[in-house]
Amino acid sequence: MNKQTDVNLENQNLLCEAQIPAFQRISHAAAMSADTRALVRENVLQSYGHPAQDEPEGITACYERLSQEDKNDGESNSIQNQKRILERYCKDHGYTPIRHYDEDDGYSGTNFNRPGFQRMLADVKAGKVARVIVKDMSRFGRDYLQVGMYTDIVFPEYGVHFVAVNDGVDSTRGENEFAAIRNVFNEMFARDTSKKIRSTWQSKGKSGEHLATTPPYGYMKSPADKKRWVIDEGAAAVVQKMYSLCMAGKGPAMIATWLQEHKILCPSAYWKSKGLSGTKPSSKNPYKWSSEVVSKILSRIEYLGYTVNFKTCKQSYKSKKKVFNDPNDWAIFENTHEPIVEESVFSIVQNIRKSRQRRTRQGTAGLFSGLLYCDDCDAKMYLCRPHRNKPSDDYYICSGYRKGECTLHRNKIVVLHEIILKNLRDAISYVTHHENDFIREAIDISTRERDREYAVKKETLEKSEKRIAELDVIVKRLYEDNVTGKLTDERFIKLSRDYELEQDNLKSLAEAMRQELKQQEQKKSSVKSFIAAAKKYTDLQALDTTILHEFIDRIFISAKDEKNKTCKIRIVYNFIGAFDFEVTKQTKTALKQQKTA
pLDDT digit string, tens, across residues 453-468: 667 777 777 888 888 8
Q: What is the pLDDT of residues 289-299, one digit of tens each?
A: 998 999 999 98
Q: Work out the mean pLDDT of the chain and round it to a whole number.
A: 77
Integer-rounded Cα radius of gyration of the chain: 38
Q: Which amino acid is at 21?
A: P
Q: Tell me which fold the domain 219-351 belongs to.
A: Hect, E3 ligase catalytic domain fold (3.90.1750)
3-class SS shares of the chain: helix, strand, coil, % to 5: 50, 10, 35
Q: What is the pLDDT of residues 466-475, one digit of tens each?
A: 888 888 888 7
593 forms beta bridges with none
Alpha helices for 62-143 (secondary structure H): 79-93, 115-125, 137-140
Predicted local confidence at residue 1, as pLDDT: 42
Residue 406 has pLDDT above 50, yes or no: yes
Predicted local confidence at residue 190, as pLDDT: 66
Predicted local confidence at residue 38, as pLDDT: 54
Q: What is the mean pLDDT of residues 137-150?
A: 84
Predicted local confidence at residue 523, as pLDDT: 44
User: Which of the two residues, 596 and 332, has the higher pLDDT score?
Assistant: 332
Predicted local confidence at residue 522, as pLDDT: 46
Cα distances from 122 to residues 125, 127, 154, in angstroms, run 5, 9, 12
In eight-state DSSP terms, residue 393 is: G
CA distance 208 to 306: 10
Residue 549 has pLDDT above 70, yes or no: yes
The vertex-135 CA angle with 134 and 141, nearest 5°, equals 65
Predicted local confidence at residue 351, as pLDDT: 80
CA distance 62 to 79: 11
Predicted local confidence at residue 98, as pLDDT: 92
Residue 146 has pLDDT above 80, yes or no: yes
Predicted local confidence at residue 13, as pLDDT: 43
- Using CA atoms in the order 583, 584, 589, 595, what is the torsion angle rounded to 10 degrees? 120
How many other CB atoms are found less than 10 A from the CB of residue 381? Answer: 28
Beta strands, E only, 450-568: 552-557
Cis peptide before 215 (omega within 30 of 0): no
| Contacts of residue 572, Cβ cutoff 8 Å, sequence gap at least 6 | 552, 553, 554, 555, 556, 578
Cα distances from 95 to residues 57, 82, 150, 165, in angstroms, run 10, 16, 21, 14
pLDDT band, residue 4 (cuts 50/70/90): very low
CA distance 351 to 365: 16
Residue 287 has pLDDT above 50, yes or no: yes
Q: What is the mean pLDDT of residues 579-594?
A: 68
Residue 124 has pLDDT above 70, yes or no: yes
Q: What is the mean pLDDT of residues 114-133?
A: 93
Q: Which amino acid is at 558?
A: S
- Percent of the chain, pLDDT > 90? 16
Q: Which one, of 459, 567, 467, lies nearest residue 517 by Cα? A: 459
Q: What is the mean pLDDT of residues 169-179?
A: 70
pLDDT band, residue 257 (cuts 50/70/90): very high
- Percent of the chain, pLDDT > 70? 74
Phi, psi values for residue 216, rounded to 5° = -65, 160
pLDDT band, residue 369 (cuts 50/70/90): confident
N-terminal to C-terminal alpha carbon distance within the chain: 111
Residue 62 has pLDDT above 90, yes or no: yes
> 144-148, 452-456, 578-582 — which is least confidently predicted?
452-456
Predicted local confidence at residue 44, as pLDDT: 42
> 130-134, 312-316, 526-530 — which is least confidently predicted?
312-316
| Contacts of residue 140, Cβ cutoff 8 Å, sequence gap at least 6 | 63, 65, 109, 134, 147, 150, 151, 164
Angle at which helices 233-247 and 343-354 pack, to 10 degrees? 50
How many other CB atoms are found less than 10 A from the CB of residue 434? Answer: 15
Q: What is the pLDDT of residues 340-356, one digit of tens each?
A: 998 888 888 888 787 66
CA distance 443 to 426: 19
Predicted local confidence at residue 117, as pLDDT: 94
CATH 3.40.50.1390 applies to domain 59-194: yes
CA distance 132 to 162: 5
Q: Show me where the domains of the chain are located.
A: 59-194, 219-351, 435-528
User: Which of the two residues, 25 and 575, has the higher pLDDT score?
Assistant: 575
Q: Which amino acid is at 431?
A: V
With H, G, I as helix, E, B as strand and everything else as coil, classify residue 114.
coil
Residue 364 has pLDDT above 50, yes or no: yes
Residue 27 has pLDDT above 50, yes or no: no
Cα distances from 317 to residues 104, 191, 194, 528, 556, in angstroms, run 18, 7, 6, 48, 51
Predicted local confidence at residue 156, as pLDDT: 86
Contact 214, 267 (CB under 8 A): no
CA distance 424 to 428: 6
Residue 503 has pLDDT above 80, yes or no: no
pTM for the model stands at 0.51
- Most confident listed range (8-17, 278-287, 564-573): 564-573
> 108-117, 255-264, 332-341, 510-519 — which is least confidently predicted?
510-519
Do strands 129-134 and 59-66 pair parallel, antiparallel, or not at all (unpaired)? parallel
With H, G, I as helix, E, B as strand and everything else as coil, classify residue 511.
helix
Phi, psi values for residue 383, rounded to 5° = -80, 135
HSE (CB half, 13 Å, CA atoms) of 238? 24
Cα distances from 7 to residues 10, 11, 12, 13, in angstroms, run 9, 9, 8, 11
pLDDT band, residue 536 (cuts 50/70/90): confident
pLDDT band, residue 597 (cuts 50/70/90): low
CA distance 202 to 214: 18
Predicted local confidence at residue 298, as pLDDT: 92
With H, G, I as helix, E, B as strand and everything else as coil, classify residue 7.
coil
